[in-house]
Amino acid sequence: MHTFRPHSARLLLVALLGVILSGCASQPRWPDAYEKATLTNVPFHPQELYQCGPASLAMMLNAQDVQATPDELVSKVYLPERKGALQVEMVAAARQYGMLVYPLKPELDVVLKEVEAGHPVLVLQNLRFGWWPQWHFAVVIGYDSKKEVLILHSGTEENYRLPASAFMATWDRSERWARVMLPPDQLPATAEPLEFLMAAHDLETTQQTNAAKLAYSTAAKTWPDQPAALLGSGNLAYQQGHWSEAEKYYRAMTEQFPDISAGWNNLAEALSKQGREVESSAMLNKAQETKGLAKKPSAD
């Protein structure tokens, strides 16, 4: 009996270590084509409390010349009963300051690319394990490819150099949550049209009308092939009761994207609001026609 005990204890230890270490086993390769960068325009706010949410958000906002202190952000992002800030609150608060919040693809490469372009990246890490989480927000402000480290403003550490393997292990456990926050007339380096337009639409639905307007026009300039940029601008004008301005955007949409019935439909509404019922019903017919056309291929 006595001889078995240490043996089984050792076995248990090995098994336990195996389970623990398997969590951080995957080590992705450091992407090529990056050298070294440190953003110097991101002020540092040390913070230990609140999972570093308010401080990290303040750093992100200050980097875009938005005045905000960690203290004033506490009430906006901190949930006392959870003892922390949630991603949703962080994002919502940034929108209240008119920032466009863009969700990054969950790849290290994408984070580096944004930093290279001068955009600090807000990341969520889980410093412990899935079943006993310690959530932590930090701001990626640089990297050094030779040493394979990321440079973060993290907690009470300014310019904290974190090895990529450690970063990936903790970032993986937050499902690689990463966001950039920019004024809506600027594009994230890795922006994709639909993703950007959805972020613009989020501004629209949270009553950040001016910011949304700017974001839609940025999208329209960058991707002239995106109908939602025109529709978004038109809908904003419509919601504000600017019928003729809305008409202008909707008309542009029907000219550039005659196959999309939404443009015709909304144009009809904008005309009707101006009392031009004859024109309006003609446009409504167009909307029905295009709808019929769009449905046909999948109907049979």
235 belongs to the binding site for other proteins (CB under 8 A): yes
Q: Which two tokens stand for residue 19?
A: 């389970």
What single DSSP character describes residue 124?
Answer: E
**Would you call 78 helix, strand, or coil by DSSP?**
strand
Q: Which two tokens stand for residue 36?
A: 């070294």
Query: Looking at 1-9, 90-98, 128-136, 265-273, which segment touches other proteins (CB under 8 A)?
Result: 265-273
Q: Look-up: residue for tokens 């144009």?
A: 267
- CB nearer other proteins, residue 149 or residue 191: 191
Query: Looking at 32-40, 128-136, 151-159, 257-265, which segment touches other proteins (CB under 8 A)?
Result: 257-265
CB of 189 to other proteins, least distance (A): 21
- CB nearer other proteins, residue 6 or residue 297: 297
- CB nearer other proteins, residue 28 or residue 163: 28
293 belongs to the binding site for other proteins (CB under 8 A): no
Q: Which two tokens stand for residue 26?
A: 């995957």
Among 260, 271, 286, 290, binds other proteins (CB under 8 A): 260
22 belongs to the binding site for other proteins (CB under 8 A): no
174 belongs to the binding site for other proteins (CB under 8 A): no
**What is the CB neighbour count within 10 angstroms for residue 135?**
21
242 belongs to the binding site for other proteins (CB under 8 A): no
Q: Looking only at residues 203 through 222 of this chain, which bind other proteins when binding is defined by CB under 8 A?
A: 204-205
The beta strand positions in the chain, using DSSP E, are: 36-38, 78-79, 84-85, 100-103, 121-126, 135-144, 149-154, 157-163, 178-182
Give me the sign of the Cα torsion angle 239, 237, 201, 51.
Answer: negative
